[in-house]
Structure 1
Amino acid sequence: MKTYMFPGQGSQSKGMGASLFDKFADLTEKADQILGYSIKALCLCDERNELNNTQFTQPALYVVNALSYFDKLQNDHTEPDYAIGHSLGEFNALLAAGCYDFDTGLQLVKKRGELMSQAPQGAMAAILNASKSEIESILEFHGLNNVDLANYNTPSQIVISGAQAEIIQAQQHFEDAGAIYYPLNTSGAFHSRFMQPASELFFDYLQGFTFSQPRFPVISNVTARPYESEDIVKNLCEQLKSCVYWSDGIEYLLNLNRDNGIPMDFEEIGHGEVLTKLLRTIKNKVPITEKSTSTESDPNKSNAATNTLIIDWNNQHPIGTKVNSIHAQFQQLETRSPAKALSENNAVVYMKGYYGYFSLDELIFE
Structure 2
Amino acid sequence: MTKTAWVFPGQGSQALGMGTDLLDIPTAKEKFAQAREILGWSVTEICQNEEAKLSQTLYTQPILYVVESILTDLIRERGHQPDLVAGHSLGEYIALYVAGVFDWSAGLHLVKRRAELMDIAVGGMMAALMNFDREQLETVIANTPNVVLANDNSPAQVVISGTPEAVKTVMSQVKAKRAIPLKVSGAFHSHLMATAAAEFQTILDTVEFQPATVPVLSNVEPVATVDATILKQRLSQQITGSVRWREISLQLPVNSIEKVIEIGPGNVLTGLIKRTIPDLILTNVRNAAELPN
Task: Provide TM-score, normalisation by structure 1.
Answer: 0.72
- CA contact under 8 A between 1:131 and 1:155: conserved in structure 2? no
Distance 1:101 1:178, change over 3 A: closer
Q: CA deviation at 1:170?
A: 2.7
Spell out the pairing of 1:50-89 with structure 2 (5 A cutoff): 50-75=53-78, 77-89=79-91
Q: 1:66-95 deviations in whole A, cap 9, x for unaligned? A: 0110111122x1310000100000000000
Structure 1 stretches of 5 or more lacking a match?
258-262, 289-366
Q: CA-atom RMSD, angstroms?
A: 1.7
Q: Offset of 1:139 from its aligned partner?
A: 2.8
Cα distance in 2 between the residues matched to 1:22 and 1:168: 47
Q: Corresponding residue for 1:190?
A: 188
Greater relative contact order structure (CA < 8 Å, 6+ sep)? 2
Cross-structure match for 1:249: 248
Letter in 2 for 1:35: L
AA in 2 matched with 1:81: D
Please give the secondary structure, in 1, of the residue aligned with 2:132. Answer: coil
Q: Deviation string for 1:180-238 (max 9, x for gaps)?
A: 21111111000001011111111111121111110000110010112421023321120
Q: How does 1:294-309 map to 2 (within 5 A)?
A: none
Q: C-alpha separation between the residues in 2 aligned to 1:178 and 1:94? A: 35
Deviating more after overlay: 111-120 vs 87-96: 111-120
Q: Please give the alpha-carbon distance, in whole angstroms, between the structure 1 residues aligned to 2:159 and 2:209.
A: 31
Provide the C-alpha distance between the structure 2 equivalents of 1:52 and 1:119, rounded to a whole number of angstroms: 15
Relative to structure 1, the CA distance from residue 131 to residue 234 in structure 2 (aligned partners, 3 Å threshold; closer, same or farther) is farther
1:258-313, CA deviations, whole angstroms, 9 ceiling, x for partnerless residues?
xxxxx61001011111111111111149xx9xxxxxxxxxxxxxxxxxxxxxxxxx
Tell me how many residue pairs correspond in the alignment: 275
What is residue 290 of structure 2 aligned with on the other side? none
Q: Which of 28, 40, 51 is residue 32 of structure 2 equivalent to?
A: 28
1:120·1:194 contact (CA, 8 Å) conserved in 2? no
Please state how far the C-alpha of 1:131 moved relative to its aligned partner.
4.5
Larger Rg, first or second structure (1 or 2): 1
Aligned to 1:221: 219
Structure 1 residues 288-327: aligned runs within 5 Å: none
Whether 1:171 aligns to 2:171 is yes
Amino acid corresponding to residue 12 of structure 2 in structure 1 = G
CA 145–179 in structure 1, closer or farther in 2 if over 3 Å, else same = farther
1:276 equivalenced with 2:280 (yes/no): no
Separation in structure 2 between the aligned mates of residue 45 and residue 223 of structure 1, nearest angstrom: 38
Q: Give the alignment of 1:227-246 within 5 angstroms.
A: 227=225, 228-246=227-245
Is contact 1:124–1:186 with CA below 8 Å preserved after alignment?
yes
Structure 1 window deviating more from structure 2 (151-160 vs 38-47): it is: 38-47
**CA deviation after TM superposition for structure 1 residue 169, in Å:** 3.0
Query: Secondary structure in 1 aligned to 2:121?
Result: coil
Q: Provide the TM-score with structure 2 as the length reference.
A: 0.90
